[in-house]
Structure 1
Amino acid sequence: MSGTDKTYVSIEEVISIPALREIAVHPDGSAVAYVKRVANWDDNIYVDHVQIFEKTSGRHVSLTSGNVASSAPMWSPDGKKLAYLQAGPEGDAKKQIYLYTMETATSLRVTRAVNDVKSFRWAPDGSGLYYISELAASGKQKERKRLYGDFEYVNIDDNKSTLYFCPINPALARTLGPLQGPSDVRQDVLSDEELAICLIEMADVHVSAFDVSRDGEKIVVAIAPSSRITDVEKTEFHLLDVATRHMTPLPIPKPVYYDVHFSPDGRKICYTKRPPDNAYYDTDVLESYDLETKKCERLTGDLDESVYPVAWIKSGIVIEWQDKTSRKIELVKADGSRELVAGGDGHLAYGASVSADGEQIAYLKASDTELADVFLNGERVTNRNQHYEGRAKSTKRVIEWESGDGTAIEGILSIPPDFDQSKRYPLLVVIHGGPVAASFAVPTSNLYYPIESFIECGFIVLEPNYRGSAGYGSKFRRLNVRNLGIGDYSDVIAGVDHLVSQGFADASRVGVMGWSQGGYISAFCSTYSNRFKAVSVGAGISNWATYYVSTDIHPFTRHYLAATPWEDEVIYKRTSPITYVNEASTPTLIQHGDNDSRVPVQNAYELYQGLSDVGVDANLIIFKGMGHGADKPGLHRAIQKQNLAWFCNHILGAPLDGFWL
């Protein structure tokens, strides 16, 4: 156990720390809305609640409570109302738009869409709300299901979405109408089919995103042939004339992506774009298109990382991007220069919301000692760090080492506050997913691996940003193309060797774990190596051929391996953990959801059977009804407790009792 007198936060406490997201700054900066996710342990669910922080009073007001969830807050142009999504009353679980009025502190339902409202924006004059919702099933589809049962024509059946407009006053009138008397004397409530206006009546397109010009006369719409992930790269932008509803395709070379914004004068749009080969590992650049000259212009030519536009204001375009283990909010000016707004130097600033005039900004910010909190115009307005007050907490360091081929690799090292350089600590490696993702030096909020509990038990923890991770440029992202597993393993084991060479990591007591792509790399470590004392594979790939034919993102494998299994069987075998199973010897825990469409559960069964057949100590845990990741606090608790017991048993010699929940 760690030598500190203070106790560390427990697994249950880490899961209970509220998560914050979806920031919306008030037009005059007097308030900020945000979403707070809380764990309801009794019902084993996470619930999102829209909160409003009022600057004058300092109060935080929640718009929903209990198990009624709310999300996606957005202020009206005049700041008098806040629109947000909320599940409907009992018997109607679809997400609908509600309005909270600041003066009366009351909420009223606006839409009655047949399916979930997915996203929305205010009309610039505040007269209504534009929103995207999935089209209702046709009578033919309903009849097919009634006659034959529920089945799918793969890559033919599709749940497309389109764009609607709902006027505010009639919508509120129909909501208030039922309050005026009993059912026998009031008028029937209008449905969205009778009130909302369908703006794009094209059955062969799927609307994924849009933005409205400041004058309200034009809407830029992102459409694709279908809602399938494989059709995202076919997305095109169209310009919708609001008055005539005429759609004009914009001749912008594909691939383009959802983050689209009008310039304040409505003359241009900006958006994210990838290189022509459109590989998963490519960086997204920022580009603009002039609606008058019909010319495209790249706006951040010297920035070698993915860029995400937040808002286009008078002084420039507010963007977010990741710079190694920092996240930055910057302003891109007309001359292409960039000005830092928040973040950088090891700090993470993200999730920004900017007022239309550019004068107000809110965002989330975190550091190596502080969890992410909401900041309004530079001032902290939430305090998640209270959950760590008076408790022991691991210290985070960004470290660097050289991989086998000379590539510089960074990672996050977590050590106890009373760390002793002269001691030899057992080491655990926690590998992030993605691979286009990253680990950051921020206080522990990992819901799959109990890093604080590991530290309390005497471990130190390394989280490598292996080749392919985000934040290190396009060349670094491509280093594991046709080199998956092998190059990743080299980065991981070089990090282990680096810490061993420093004299404080025990080479004979090392474990490795990860989820998704991190699970794949862990599986590779299990079969390809005997350097580890224990391994945990979470939702990981064991066989790329098995994965390719059953995942919901087939292009992912084709991009990284640069071939299908039928074109290059060798590369699929060389990079698959199952290929090396006859040499495996490391005790391996496998955790997987049986409803995982991203990494189908066959991968877990294949690895488990292979390890079992060659006599390796392996345990397989299948979480019923779970997809690619856990979505319940109880599942996160089980996953963490199993991992804690597994590594404490195989590396520290502790009893395995806690593993059997």
Structure 2
Amino acid sequence: EIVTWKSKDGLEIEGILVKPPDWQPATKYPLLLDIHGGPHGRRANTLTTGNLPPQLWAARGWLVFQPNFRGSSAYGHEFGIASRGDIGGKDYEDILAGVDFLIARGGVDAERMAVMGGSYGGYMTNLIIGQTTRFKAAVSSFGIFNLITDFSNSQFPSWETDYLKQFYWENLPLYLERSPFKNVAKITTPVLILHGDEDPNTFISNSKELYRALRALGRTVKFVRFPREGHGFEEPNHRIEEFRQMAAWLDRYVLDDAGRARVVNETVRKDGWELRVAGVSTPESYAGVKAAGRFVEVELLLRATLPVEERLSLLVFDTSGSEVSLVAPDRTLYPVGIAAESLGQRLLVKSSAQVVALVPDRDGNHSALAVAVVFDASLGAREFTLRLKDFPPVKIELPIERKE
């Protein structure tokens, strides 16, 4: 979808909004702010292959917002040079005004937003997280942290003088004001930094400075360096690793925020794995076996979403050692067994200890795994919280029992 909004000074700005495939207008989705480079680049309403396409993130449940702020190409000469002498100024306002517009329009979960960008998009990401805490995670890819450092090391030193109009010794206050390092002590957003070791454009010293400062401040930060890579990542294995690192970071700090319980049929992601509670039922019996209270059968779907080598195992015990449990208001329930089909009957496979595992094949691929875990709950109990390993909790509410 092409969206337009008014910036702080009234200038109309355009951008692209890519929606999840199952998008529903009444649902609020997490927002991923994806900032292009340049700044004389742009995002087009097309399927591209140069960067990680927005459709990749939309397929994982994100609304992907790509603003074409002032200074972007394809909107005429005046618009294209509008940020010269003012990088990190009105273009910054254009971007955040677009975020505010989308939130006000509806459909955005303002408590689950992330920002990312490469090159100038990385610079803008670094700048944004030093001035607002509204984004729960950030991915800064080969971006500028210190404009003086960048001028002194880049193979394109004219970039700073083109966009700031002066050398740093002629206008030091401007270089300091527009450098993200100025507000580094204000950064509290978890930051993933990606950079190529051989980048001749935006020297890796920028990311080194950002990383060292955040470590010294005790902030949440991770720095991934790619050998042999320049300004961007080209090697196939590095492209896969780029996506894996980004997806795991965004999953951990935004999609799988432990403070927010999930609901039935909502996808829960954690460290490359995906969990969905596909259904909840209350069978009267299993092949004649009745519950002491009433059975609660929880159908779980597990699959790998990233290239992971290890298997995912789930310990199903009838004691506190179990990695899956159902928490009721008055007590914690442990599984009494696993439901299975045999000869047309629904059976309850009971054991004091069972192990369910999702194992990669010889090619490293995982198939999805479905398992139905059964609990014996008290009559009248309706509200539970499912806990499975270190996945975020899932809220389960049973229907009101009808009296015969």
Question: If the length of structure 2 is used for normalisation, what is the TM-score?
Answer: 0.63
Partner of 1:487: 90
Shift of 1:452: 2.8
Aligned counterparts of 1:543 and 1:659: Cα–Cα separation in 2: 35
Return the letter of the residue paired with 2:13.
Answer: I
Aligned counterparts of 2:244 and 2:113: Cα–Cα separation in 1: 19
- Whether contact under 8 Å (2:35, 2:116) holds in the other structure is yes
SS of the residue 1:488 aligns to:
helix
Is residue 425 of structure 1 aligned with residue 29 of structure 2? yes
Aligned counterparts of 1:486 and 1:659: Cα–Cα separation in 2: 40
Q: Deviations over 1:72-99 (max 9, x none)?
A: xxxxxxxxxxxxxxxxxxxxxxxxxxxx
Return the letter of the residue paired with 2:225.
Answer: I
Partner of 2:349: none
Q: Which runs of 5+ in 2 are unaligned?
A: 257-268, 273-305, 310-404
Partner of 1:173: none
Match of 1:641 among 244, 262, 271: 244
**What does residue range 41-190 of structure 1 map to in structure 2 within 5 Å?**
none
Is residue 603 of structure 1 aligned with residue 206 of structure 2? yes
Specify whether residues 532 and 659 from structure 1 end up closer, same or farther in structure 2 by C-alpha distance, changes over 3 A only.
Answer: farther
Aligned counterparts of 1:581 and 1:659: Cα–Cα separation in 2: 33
- Whether contact under 8 Å (2:5, 2:13) holds in the other structure is yes
Q: Deviations over 1:123-180 (max 9, x none)?
A: xxxxxxxxxxxxxxxxxxxxxxxxxxxxxxxxxxxxxxxxxxxxxxxxxxxxxxxxxx
Match of 1:512 among 115, 121, 125: 115
Return the letter of the residue paired with 1:637.
Answer: I
Shift of 1:659: 9.6
Match of 2:144 among 527, 533, 541: 541
Is residue 474 of structure 1 aligned with residue 89 of structure 2? no
Aligned counterparts of 1:483 and 1:612: Cα–Cα separation in 2: 30
SS of the residue 2:233 aligns to:
coil
Is residue 619 of structure 1 aligned with residue 222 of structure 2? yes
- Whether contact under 8 Å (1:430, 1:463) holds in the other structure is yes
SS of the residue 1:591 aligns to:
strand
SS of the residue 1:479 aligns to:
coil
Aligned counterparts of 1:630 and 1:481: Cα–Cα separation in 2: 28
Aligned counterparts of 1:417 and 1:462: Cα–Cα separation in 2: 15
Match of 1:439 among 40, 43, 47: 43
Is residue 415 of structure 1 aligned with residue 30 of structure 2? no
Partner of 2:170: 567
Match of 1:655 among 267, 270, 275: 270
Q: Deviations over 1:437-489 (max 9, x none)?
A: 11000124353x35333222211101111111001122212322232123232
Aligned counterparts of 1:503 and 1:629: Cα–Cα separation in 2: 34
Shift of 1:410: 0.7
SS of the residue 1:626 aligns to:
coil
Aligned counterparts of 1:450 and 1:615: Cα–Cα separation in 2: 33
Aligned counterparts of 1:516 and 1:593: Cα–Cα separation in 2: 11
Specify whether residues 407 and 600 from structure 1 end up closer, same or farther in structure 2 by C-alpha distance, changes over 3 A only.
Answer: same
Partner of 1:403: 7
Return the letter of the residue paired with 1:507.
Answer: A
Return the letter of the residue paired with 2:5.
Answer: W
Partner of 1:503: 106
- Whether contact under 8 Å (1:424, 1:504) holds in the other structure is yes
SS of the residue 1:528 aligns to:
coil
Partner of 1:584: 187
- Give aligned pairs, total: 264
Return the letter of the residue paired with 2:122.
Answer: G
- Whether contact under 8 Å (2:137, 2:253) holds in the other structure is yes
Q: Deviations over 1:346-381 (max 9, x none)?
A: xxxxxxxxxxxxxxxxxxxxxxxxxxxxxxxxxxxx
- Whether contact under 8 Å (1:450, 1:640) holds in the other structure is no
- RMSD across aligned positions (CA): 1.7
Q: Which runs of 5+ in 1 are unaligned?
A: 1-396
Q: Deviations over 1:39-61 (max 9, x none)?
A: xxxxxxxxxxxxxxxxxxxxxxx
